[in-house]
Amino acid sequence: MSKLTEKAKGINFDEDEDDATSPAPAPVADKPRTAMGAISASLALGRGVEAENRALKAKLQKFEDATFVEFLDPKLVKPSRWANRHALSFSGPEFATLKAEIADAGRNVQPIKVRPLPVQPGQSPEYEIAYGHRRHRACLELGLQVAAIVEEMNDSRLFAEMDRENRERQNLSPWEQGMMYKRALEMGLFASQRQLASAIGAQSGNVSRAIQLASLPDEIIGAFASPLELQYRSLDTINPALERDAKAVLDRARELAAMEPKLPARDVLDRLMGNESTVTPAAARTPLMVGGKQLGSWDKDAKGNVTLRLKAGVLGDAKEKRLREFVEKLLG
């Protein structure tokens, strides 16, 4: 509970005040900045009207546990040292959709959460993000103030809130999740994986697999078009292959990394295993480019079978339905 709330609650609402002939209170010099401030000011100034006092007391109780949102200059808000968003998380169709939604609303409807950072006297206040890095980036690029919940918290609590938000929203890739855990351990925020798992309320085995994914050799990470394509199940293919013949797997990974365009994730895993016969020849794969970005590919194998591959998030439900109807009409 804030000091302002405690002070307001300390007012005696049940005693009769002076009669209504008392001089009117002086006007307030500064307009209260929050709903709490407005209520507290009204309580202090509304002497002589018991019914009004009781009503205001009820309102104060209603606001006591409310969350207040502030609008901050996004340039004063810094990414968390624990976050490890890949650059691709701030580009592509999904981020473009988020950015468009914020632009249409004129603000991020769902606030981010930040903590205030220590500043020297005379400096502008600065904040560190607990969660909402993509929403913050969208507001920064759009030149909009970012709606934020500001709350004091220590490192471990900030990390736990960031992780919980990411897992609940399921918008952080397994590789990014693993990198986040790995960085927290490397920087000494937690003494062990078990302590980390306990702090965030996750199973130790899940934390371990995420860190394994983030700890894969750079050659294997580079074989994929994006590390965001790596999934937990990828470990079930990659780890046994590395145990059998690490040199051969890494050699194949380097060859895959040099390919342009990169193969789809499923084909990369097949090639890492040495199953080249299952991979569509690169020469038969035509990238689908929109606005200078590859959003998918058009694949045709030796038998003439055609496969259209689109990256996750390119199509919403409505566009997917229209595409299916168009193909059915075209082939009908």
Q: How confident is the model at residue 22 (pLDDT cuts 50, 70, 90)?
A: very low
Q: What is the pLDDT of residue 240?
A: 92
pLDDT of 81 above 60: yes
Q: How confident is the model at residue 303 (pLDDT cuts 50, 70, 90)?
A: low
Percentage of residues in the chain having pLDDT higher than 90: 35
Q: How far is CA 117 from CA 122, 251, 269, 270, 316, in A?
A: 14, 46, 44, 48, 39
The string of pLDDT tens digits covering residues 86-127 is: 776 787 787 888 899 999 999 999 999 999 999 888 888 999
Question: How does 44-69 read in b/e, with b if 16+ C-beta sit within 10 Å?
Answer: eeeeeeeeebeebbeebeebeeeeee
Contact by Cβ (8 Å): 196, 190: yes
Q: What is the pLDDT of residue 141?
A: 94
Q: What is the pLDDT of residue 209?
A: 93
What is the residue whose two structure tokens read 């798992």?
A: 197
Q: How confident is the model at residue 49 (pLDDT cuts 50, 70, 90)?
A: low
Q: In the chain, where are the structural domains located?
A: 3-63, 70-172, 216-279, 286-332
Six-digit token string for 222: 């580079």
The string of pLDDT tens digits covering residues 130-179 is: 999 989 999 999 999 999 999 999 999 999 888 888 777 656 788 888 99
Q: Residue 161, exposed/middle/buried by CB under 10 A (0-12, 13-18, 19+)?
A: middle
Contact by Cβ (8 Å): 38, 17: no
Would you say the pTM of this structure is higher than 0.85?
Answer: no
Q: Residue 14, exposed/middle/buried by CB under 10 A (0-12, 13-18, 19+)?
A: exposed
Helix (H) or strand (E) holding 297: strand 293-300
- Does 2.160.10.10 match the CATH number of domain 70-172? no
The residues pairing with 127 across neighbouring beta strands, listed in sequence order, are 77, 116
At how many degrees (to 10) do helices 234-258 and 204-214 cross?
10
Q: What is the pLDDT of residue 169?
A: 66
Average model confidence (pLDDT) for the chain? 78
Six-digit token string for 28: 């307030």
